[in-house]
Amino acid sequence: MARDHSLEQQALKVLHQNSHLSFYQDTLQRHILPSRHYYTHQWFWDSCMHAMGLAYYDMKWAQDEIASLFHGQWDNGFIGHIIFNTSDTTYYPGIDVWGTKQLSPRNVYTSGIIQPPLLAISMNHMDLLSSKNDNFIDTYLPKLMLYHTYLKTVRDKEDSGLLTIIHPWESGTDNSPRWDSILSRINVANIPERVKKDVDQNRKDTKNGKISHRPQRNDYYRYLYLVDMYKNLKWNSDAILEKTPFAIKDTLVNSMWAKANQALSDMLTRRNRLPEAQLFANWARETRSAMRKSWNNKKHLYALYDVSYGKHQAIDTDTVSNFMPLYAHIPTPEHLSALLKKLTDPTQYGSVNPVPSVPLTSPSFEPTRYWRGPTWPITNLFIIEGLKTYTKNAVCQTLAKKLLRKTEAMIEKKGFYEYYHPFASKKESGVGFGDFSWSAAIYLYLKKRYTIQDDQTDSVRNSHQAFKKSQSS
Ligand code: DGY
């Protein structure tokens, strides 16, 4: 039977329509906006994901997406979570709020914070699909190594194996309940009036989108308070780490960090650059081992650490980030069976549209509010791929396949939304902004990488079974 390509075509259309052209050093360059309705610049982890989907359809397009991120790289190796289009001034907080112009490369302005470090994972995926004479990866490997070295030396000074994040936005999961106890320390009454006024006048997400889908106002004040503080500290990372109330060793970010170092090591191994490959493999190993030690045996979760003001305090809020270590093959057999239980429990993460960002019975659960309940394709992808790495575990394989089918069905039914209501029966299933690029890219990636292959395996298996049946009858 011929395969139906129509949704793949729609996904490619979303990516095409969200493409943005600009000049960089007199050459035309392009990248994809996460959403034309609100996210009107380039976002770091979104772009890494766009490239992973596009790599199957148009490698040059995927390469342009990654090259555009590197155009925003600072001299010290840092890459910001937003690379701004200078022609667009609608998004808030814009370039001037960040105060990073002097640090950004000439004519390319960026934010001053990071996002989950998926870059090497994305590039490794592209490397495996590229033709032999394509030198894109070789060209950008030095910049990628510089980026990893920046993260290691600046965000893991104490060599713990775990990176420190300095803003909830760095985790990509802005209003996750795992930040609540830390953010509540920032008393809104003490936030300068000018910061609050700026937010009240300029915040756009609640104007362009629905208020009930977005972070609460007090949290937004706190996000901007942190940005303002770092701007006043001139983005000096030592000063920031000393003064910030928000310094966290995060589970999601560090799972990506472990996976990314392994990916970088694999690319170097493929090029026979063995001593460098060894260095990054060691970093990956250190992170995996530090994360295993963070396991809370009573609550069955990987703790985060609050390391602000010299502290080292475990935070054990249960959210979808607890499954991210699967992606870097961190869980031991004992952790794995505890995680599988939670994942399938209908009172926790086993919703109709799995996997919700917060357990269904948690007091923090809100089904449409951003990272406080909705299901996100990106975290589903990490869980699916993580489960698949447990190749000898039949439960993991079956669950990965089920989750893959459900994720695709959710997108097929509702369209390419930013995130989804965890219950399919609810009318409002697609939430956040529509025509969202990474949901389109993730759909393409899952389809090409797994579904087509699984379908073929299934049809081979079915015909094999039919043959066996006909033989025995
Ligand atoms: C936003 O603007 O909502 C972002 O998450 C910050 O990058």
Cβ–ligand 1 contact at 205 (below 6 Å): yes
- Of all protein residues, whose CA lies closest to atom 4 belonging to ligand 1? 169
Closest ligand 1 atom number to CA of residue 91: 2
**pLDDT at residue 451, as a whole number:** 84
What distance, in Å, lies between the first and last C-alpha atoms of the chain?
A: 27
Cβ–ligand 1 contact at 219 (below 6 Å): no
**pLDDT at residue 27, as a whole number:** 81
What does the pLDDT average to over 422-446?
89
Asked if pLDDT for residue 235 goes beyond 80, the answer is yes
Which residue has better confidence, 251 or 206? 251
Distance between alpha carbon 377 and the CA centroid of its chain, in Å?
A: 10
Asked if pLDDT for residue 428 goes beyond 90, the answer is no
Model's pTM, two decimal places?
0.95
Closest ligand 1 atom number to CA of residue 174: 5
Cβ–ligand 1 contact at 223 (below 6 Å): no
| Best residue among 79, 81, 174, 207 to mutate for probing ligand 1, ranked by most atoms within 8 Å of CB | 174
Instruction: Dump pLDDT digits (tens) for 251-306.
Output: 999 999 999 999 999 999 999 999 999 999 999 999 999 999 999 999 999 999 99
Percent of the chain with pLDDT over 70: 94
Asked if pLDDT for residue 158 goes beyond 80, the answer is yes
- Say which residues have a Cβ less than 8 Å from residue 453's Cβ, sequence separation at least 6: none
**Lookup: tokens for 2:** 């011929």
Residues facing 295 on adjacent strands: 302
Asked if pLDDT for residue 473 goes beyond 80, the answer is no
Closest ligand 1 atom number to CA of residue 223: 6
* pLDDT class of 429 with cuts at 50, 70, 90: low
Phi, psi torsion values for 354, nearest 5 degrees:
-80, 160
Cβ–ligand 1 contact at 169 (below 6 Å): yes
Which range, of 64-68, 188-192, 416-420, 427-431, averages the lowest pLDDT? Answer: 427-431
- Side chain identity at 146, as an amino acid letter? L
- Of all protein residues, whose CA lies closest to atom 7 belonging to ligand 1? 169
Cβ–ligand 1 contact at 174 (below 6 Å): yes
* pLDDT class of 132 with cuts at 50, 70, 90: confident
- Say which residues have a Cβ less than 8 Å from residue 71's Cβ, sequence separation at least 6: 24, 29, 83, 105, 108
Asked if pLDDT for residue 28 goes beyond 90, the answer is no
Instruction: Dump pLDDT digits (tens) for 305-333.
Output: 999 999 999 999 999 999 999 999 999 99
- Side chain identity at 464, as an amino acid letter? H
* pLDDT class of 467 with cuts at 50, 70, 90: very low
Phi, psi torsion values for 44, nearest 5 degrees:
-60, -60
- 357 near 380, Cβ under 8 Å? no
Asked if pLDDT for residue 338 goes beyond 80, the answer is yes
What does the pLDDT average to over 57-80?
97
Which range, of 31-35, 102-106, 385-389, averages the lowest pLDDT? Answer: 102-106
- 402 near 384, Cβ under 8 Å? no
**pLDDT at residue 103, as a whole number:** 96
* pLDDT class of 106 with cuts at 50, 70, 90: confident
Cβ–ligand 1 contact at 408 (below 6 Å): no
Spatial separation of the C-alpha atoms in residues 64 and 122, rounded to whole Å? 13
Closest ligand 1 atom number to CA of residue 82: 7
Asked if pLDDT for residue 209 goes beyond 90, the answer is no
The DSSP result for 353-420, as a single string, is: S--BSS-TTSTT--TTSTTSS-B-HHHHHHHHHHHHT-TT-HHHHHHHHHHHHHHHHHHHHH-S-SEE
Q: What is the mean pLDDT of the chain?
A: 94
**Lookup: tokens for 405:** 């089918």
- 23 near 85, Cβ under 8 Å? no
User: In this structure, how many other beta carbons lie within 10 angstroms of the beta carbon of residue 139?
Assistant: 12
The residue assigned the tokens 């985790």 is: 171
As a whole number of angstroms, the longest Cα–Cα distance in the chain is: 82
- 128 near 263, Cβ under 8 Å? no
**pLDDT at residue 86, as a whole number:** 87
Cβ–ligand 1 contact at 295 (below 6 Å): no
Residues facing 359 on adjacent strands: none
- Cα atoms in the Cβ-side hemisphere of radius 13 Å centred on 84: 25
**pLDDT at residue 430, as a whole number:** 81
Closest ligand 1 atom number to CA of residue 39: 2
Over its C-alpha atoms, the chain yields an Rg (Å, rounded) of 22
